[in-house]
Structure 1
Amino acid sequence: MEVTYKQISNIAMTLFFAVALNPEWSSNPIFWWGSVFLALGVYAATHHFSVPFRMTQFKTWFLLFFCVCLLSIPLAINRSNSLNTMKTLVVLIIILFVIDDEIQTDQDLEKYMQMYMVAVFVMMLYVVLNVDLNNFQLSQHGWADTGMWNGNDVGLKCAVFLIFSLHSFNLDRRVFRRFYLLVGSVLALVLLYFTASRKALLIAVFGIALYYYFKHPNKRFRNLLIIIFGIYAAFQLVMNVPELYEAIGWRIEGMLSLVSGKGTADSSALLRARYIQVGFDAFKKSPIIGYGVDNYRFINLRETGHFTYSHNNFVDILVGVGILGFFCYYSYYIKLVFDFLKLYLRRNTSMLLNTVAICFLCYFAMHIAVVSYNDILQNILILFFAKALVIQKSSNVTEELE
Structure 2
Amino acid sequence: MKISIKQISYLAIVFFFSVALNPEWSANPILWWSSFFSVVLLISASNHFRISLKTNLFKTWLIAFGGICLISVTYALNRSFSIDTIKTLVVLFISLFLIDDQIRTKEELEKYMKLFLISLFIMMIYVIFNLDLNSFQLAQHGEATTGLWNGNDIGMKCALYVILILYSLSNNKKLIIRLFLLISLPIPLNLLYYTASRKAILMVVLGVSLFYYLKHPNKKIRNLIVICLGLYLVYNVMMNNKDLYNAIGWRIEGALGLLNKSGQADSSALLRAKYIEVGINAWKQAPILGYGIDNFRIINLHATGHLTYSHNNFIELLVGVGGIGFLIYYSYYIKLLFDYIKMYFKHHTTQILNVTAICFILMFVMHFAVVSYYAIEQGLIILFMSKAIKLNKDFDF
TM-score (norm 2): 0.98
AA matched with 2:115: M
Number of aligned residues: 397
AA matched with 2:151: G
1:93-242 mapped onto 2 (5 Å cutoff): 93-242=93-242
Distance 1:247 1:53 in 2: 51
Residue in 2 that maps onto 1:392: 392
Residue in 2 that maps onto 1:367: 367
Residue in 1 that maps onto 2:382: 382
Percent of aligned pairs sharing the same letter: 53
1:50-61 mapped onto 2 (5 Å cutoff): 50-61=50-61
AA matched with 2:123: M
Deviations 1:129-167 (A, max 9, x none): 010101111111111111111100000000000000000
Residue in 2 that maps onto 1:79: 79
Residue in 1 that maps onto 2:354: 354
Residue in 2 that maps onto 1:311: 311
Distance 1:2 1:321 in 2: 49
178-187 vs 263-272, greater mean Cα deviation:
178-187
Distance 1:251 1:172 in 2: 37
Tell me the CA shift for residue 311 of structure 1. Answer: 0.4
Residue in 2 that maps onto 1:43: 43
Aligned partner of residue 144 in structure 2, secondary structure? coil
Distance 2:194 2:183 in 1: 17
CA RMSD of aligned residues (A): 1.1
Tell me the CA shift for residue 110 of structure 1. Answer: 0.3
Tell me the CA shift for residue 175 of structure 1. Answer: 2.5
Deviations 1:354-392 (A, max 9, x none): 000000001101110000111111111111000100000
Tell me the CA shift for residue 321 of structure 1. Answer: 0.5
AA matched with 2:174: R
Distance 2:9 2:376 in 1: 19
Distance 1:273 1:53 in 2: 44
Tell me the CA shift for residue 80 of structure 1. Answer: 0.7
Tell me the CA shift for residue 319 of structure 1. Answer: 0.3
Distance 2:180 2:152 in 1: 24
Tell me the CA shift for residue 39 of structure 1. Answer: 1.1
Distance 1:112 1:340 in 2: 21
AA matched with 1:224: L
1:285-304 mapped onto 2 (5 Å cutoff): 285-304=285-304
Distance 1:246 1:376 in 2: 32
174-183 vs 269-278, greater mean Cα deviation:
174-183
Distance 1:347 1:240 in 2: 42
AA matched with 1:324: I
Aligned partner of residue 110 in structure 1, secondary structure? helix
Distance 2:186 2:99 in 1: 29
Tell me the CA shift for residue 90 of structure 1. Answer: 0.3
Tell me the CA shift for residue 262 of structure 1. Answer: 1.2
1:67 aligns to 2:67 (yes or no): yes
22-31 vs 171-180, greater mean Cα deviation:
171-180
Tell me the CA shift for residue 2 of structure 1. Answer: 9.0
Distance 2:23 2:349 in 1: 36
AA matched with 1:394: D
Which structure 1 segments of 5+ residues have no match? Answer: none
Distance 1:8 1:211 in 2: 33
Aligned partner of residue 156 in structure 1, secondary structure? helix
Distance 2:348 2:366 in 1: 27
AA matched with 1:292: G
1:249-328 mapped onto 2 (5 Å cutoff): 249-328=249-328
Deviations 1:285-336 (A, max 9, x none): 1111100000000100111111110000000000000011111111111110
Tell me the CA shift for residue 48 of structure 1. Answer: 1.6
Cα distance change on mapping 1:308 and 1:169 into 2, 3 Å:
same
TM-score (norm 1): 0.97
AA matched with 2:150: N
Tell me the CA shift for residue 269 of structure 1. Answer: 0.2
Please identify runs of 4+ aligned residues in structure 1 that moved more than 3 A: none
| Contact kept? 1:2, 1:46, Cα under 8 Å | no
Distance 2:181 2:299 in 1: 44
Distance 1:136 1:321 in 2: 32
| Contact kept? 1:53, 1:101, Cα under 8 Å | no
AA matched with 2:266: D
Tell me the CA shift for residue 3 of structure 1. Answer: 5.9
Aligned partner of residue 129 in structure 2, secondary structure? helix
Tell me the CA shift for residue 263 of structure 1. Answer: 1.2
